[in-house]
Amino acid sequence: MAYRWKNTLSDNDVTDHSLFLNRRQIMAGAAGLGLATAIGGPRAALAQEALEPNSFEDISSYNNFYEFGTGKDDPAKNAGALTTTPWTVTIDGMVDKPGEYDFADIMAKMTVEERIYRFRCVEAWSMVVPWNGFELKDLLDLAGVQSSAKYVAFETLYRPEEMVGQKFPTLEWPYVEGLRLDEAMHPLTIMATGIYGKDIPNQNGAPMRLVVPWKYGFKSIKSVVKITLTDKEPPTSWNIANAREYGFYSNVNPEVDHKRWSQATERKIGGGLFAKRIPTLMLNGYEEDVASLYEGMDMSVNF
């Protein structure tokens, strides 16, 4: 099944890359292999001139992955030590078919699409990223979600001999995250396996990471090795570290500031430290698509 998402972003919002210059021809040639394209993004109006492109180099060299260090360039410097083959993902809890799922077998069963999404960090910087991946719903359907499940818990690989940051108590390891089941099953929620048509770099969460574009980036857990269906709200790493500043939902909301800084505007990576800040969109621009998930909730309380 190929889900084609409508939006206001286009290829022009992403920097050309050597494998991306003739993307339409490449994707057309891959159509027979079941590789579909989709562009994900907001319908909310935002002047196109405010969207400066992000290169593969921007995306792969500036990010947070504390398992490899706390500096923005530490993941790119240190993640080469990570071994990603072979890779298995344990899916357990309230599912019909619990077990270890081989990554290659998963990929053989999934429909890989391209999704161009906004990415907003809680630190008030942002990017536009051309992910390749598949809908999380399809993977969960593969395991058979039971009717009693209400949440999905995720866990990152714990391997301190390869992930140097795990040798320090920056956070409680392994990194854990969670979504409500309806968030996880939403068609915008994907498991990303690539960027710009290439395998996702280690520093960006190889071989498979979660991407939830309307939430702050730390919700999009990297290098996933375990997925658990549960009826209880799961613990999440940043909430464990500081519940006052990091809630379970962590939806992008320009009207709810972080306890130590404003979330009203953001700095687009690629424009330099002194680039003009741009307004942050409610739910990162995906409000029309996902606001109904939170109808009746006070998102300043359930932040």
Going by the annotation, the residues of the binding site are 63, 66-67, 121, 156, 204, 209, 220-222
Tokens of 176: 């854990």
Rounded distance, CA 141 to CA 45, Å?
Answer: 34
CA distances from 15 to 58, 66, 132, 173 (A): 10, 26, 16, 35
Q: What secondary structure letter does DSSP report for 215?
A: B
DSSP labels, 59-126: HHHS---GGG-SSTTHHHHHGGG---SS-EEEEEESBSS-EEEEHHHHHHHS--EEEEEEEE-TTSEE
Q: State the Cα–Cα distance between residues 260 and 3, nearest whole angstrom.
A: 39
> Angle at CA 254, nearest 5°, toward 302 and 60?
100
DSSP code string of 216-269: -GGGS--SEEEEEEESSPPP-HHHHH-TTT--SS-B--TTS-BTTB--SEEEET
Q: What is the rounded distance in angstroms from the CA atom of residue 10 to the CA atom of residue 40? A: 9
Token pair for residue 266? 């953001």
Q: Which amino acid is at 272?
A: G
Distance between CA atoms of 190 and 187, rounded to whole angstroms?
7
Binding annotation for Mo-molybdopterin: 63, 66-67, 121, 156, 204, 209, 220-222
Question: Count H helices, E strands: the chain?
Answer: 8, 12
